[in-house]
Amino acid sequence: MAERLFHQCGHNWVWNRRALEDDACGSGLILSPVHTKPSDVHKLDRKTKSRSLFDPQFYLPNSQKKKLKSYPFFPDTIAGDNFQTDDFSLVALKAAELCLEFQVDNGFRALVIPARYLDQMHRDFTERQEVYTVDPFLKVITRRKLKLPVYLTLPLTQHMVLDAGFRTEILNWVTSFPEINGVYLIVGNDSGQKQIQSKNFLVAYLDFLRALRAADLEVLCGYCNTEGLLATLVEGCDITFGSFENTRMFTIDKFVMSDEERRGPKPRIFLPGLLNWIQFSQAKDIREANRKIWARTYDRTQYAENVLNAAVEPYFNQEPLYRHHFIVFSRMCGELRKLSPIDRYKTLRGWLKTALELYAEIDNIPIDLEKHSQGGHIQVWLDVVNEYFRKYLKSAA
């Protein structure tokens, strides 16, 4: 089950901090240096940091993002403007020393070893990661006799997770380091879908989580969207939740400088009955058209009520709808946390079957939800949890 629920922090990470400290939502923060200045990390309350983690974000080591370059340990900061990956091994130890010093001095609950994001299954994938960060970080941890738990970042692609042989290779590699206590697992999402709709990937993902846990590794699933609920089927996995979509799904885009102007997306509200983020205007249509259906899709919070009853629709980058999400998602995880694995499966299955019914009832109102608000993922997820039950839980039922 999900032992802990971490905030995947992004640009407006103060919303996450307020939700954690004021609303008791989540177990801690995962701070994002691409969006957080070093001075802000230093000023953060020590009690909050002792519950939290720092992700050094070495995914694109030559990123020119200003906040990343403001950290003295970031690869491009150390190597300078002529950064070359092949040359970085010469200064990798310095990066490890400075990065670990930053994490220790700030009092985070564990140490995170970063990794580079590689979008291909290179034959020397693990060797590259060892030279780049794993070996130098473990050398410093051993030399300084650091006693905090150690997490290794695993940034993978969906194709890597789908490959059973590659999953086994990664598992054998991670378990070859006795110093490593857990993994911070991140899987890139380039599907173009806001909710994952690949049964094969989700089945493989849960199999991988289960194999990691069976190897006695702590597992933190990073950049989760609503599918994080499915990961609670695997006992002992920590999951994440975030505000904007770039904290709920991982892409390399946020580390790339771009001059393109992007239009702000339309605001959405998380409706737990539909297990989805629905365009705000269409959510209000449901509310006005059928109060009984609305009552089954919506979980009331003060933040959502204030927005729903306001005279003007919100913008996507305003706080209340995300604070609503933090509270509602925390409630759902809290409910699952209390249950046995079999009862957790039964609850998830019940939520999914109810969601299917609600989408059909909304269609009959009639309201035609736009493509990302539709429930195309629900039947897929139902198939996934049922397969997980048959493979791992049925014999104990």
User: Model confidence over 246-269: pLDDT tens digits?
Assistant: 999 999 988 987 655 566 789 999
Residue with tokens 């933040």: 303
Mean pLDDT of 262-286: 93
Contact 75, 62 (CB under 8 A): yes
3-class DSSP state of 187: strand
Q: Which helix (H) or strand (E) holds 153?
A: strand 150-156
Q: What is the pLDDT of residues 375-387, one digit of tens each?
A: 999 999 999 999 9
pLDDT above 90 coverage of the chain, percent:
85
Q: How confident is the model at residue 86 (pLDDT cuts 50, 70, 90)?
A: low
Contact status, residue 96 vs residue 152, Cβ threshold 8 Å: no
Let me know the angle formed at the C-alpha of 81 by 79 and 87, rounded to the nearest 5 degrees.
40
- In this prediction, residue 87 carries a pLDDT of 65
The C-alpha atoms of residue 324 and residue 251 are separated, in whole angstroms, by 25
118 exposure class (CB count in 10 Å sphere: 0-12, 13-18, 19+):
middle
Residue whose C-alpha is closest to residue 63's, from 16, 111, 107, 114: 114
pLDDT at 286 over 90: yes
- Quick one: 247 exposed, middle or buried, by C-beta within 10 A (0-12, 13-18, 19+)? buried
**In which residue ranges of the chain is CATH 3.20.20.380 found?**
5-255
Name the residue with higher pLDDT: 42 or 91: 42
Half-sphere exposure for 64 (CA within 13 Å, toward CB): 6
- pLDDT tens, residue by residue, 219-256: 999 999 999 999 999 999 999 999 999 999 999 988 98
* d(C-alpha 381, C-alpha 302), whole Å: 30
Q: Cβ(314)–Cβ(280) under 8 Å?
A: yes
pLDDT (tens digit per residue) in 107-127:
999 999 999 999 998 889 999
Is 60 exceeded by the pLDDT of residue 182? yes
Mode of pairing for the β-strands spanning 28-31 and 268-271: unpaired
Tokens representing 161 are: 């997770």
Per-residue pLDDT band for 1 (boundaries 50, 70, 90) equals: very low
Residue whose C-alpha is closest to residue 322's, from 36, 48, 23: 23
With 0-12 / 13-18 / 19 or more C-beta atoms within 10 angstroms meaning exposed / middle / buried, residue 159 is: middle
- In this prediction, residue 6 carries a pLDDT of 98
pLDDT tens digits, residue range 123-171?
A: 899 999 999 999 999 999 999 999 999 999 999 999 999 999 999 999 9
Residue 251 Cα distances to 75, 86, 339, angstroms: 19, 24, 33
More confident residue, 192 or 376: 376
CA 322-274-262 angle, 5° bins: 45
Type of residue found at 26? G
Tokens representing 82 are: 């002529």
The answer to whether residue 366 scores a pLDDT higher than 60 is yes
Q: Considering only CA atoms, which of 240, 251, 234 is closest in space to residue 326?
A: 240
CATH class held by domain 5-255: alpha beta
Whole-angstrom distance, CA of residue 140 vs CA of residue 146 = 8
| Calpha distance 304→298 (Å, rounded) | 10
358: exposed, middle or buried (C-beta count within 10 Å: 0-12, 13-18, 19+)?
A: buried
Spatial neighbors of 271 by CB under 8 A, at least 6 apart, are 277, 278, 283, 297, 298, 299
Among the listed residues 268, 273, 249, 245, the one whose alpha carbon sits nearest the alpha carbon of residue 331: 273
Q: Cα–Cα distance between 113 and 152 in angstroms, integer?
A: 5
Give the predicted TM-score (pTM) of the model. 0.96
Q: Residue 93 burial by CB count (10 A; 0-12/13-18/19+): exposed, middle or buried? A: middle
Residues 6 or more apart whose CB falls under 8 angstroms from that of 304 comprise 269, 298, 320, 321, 324
What CA–CA distances, in Å, run from 276 to 227, 268, 359? 10, 9, 11
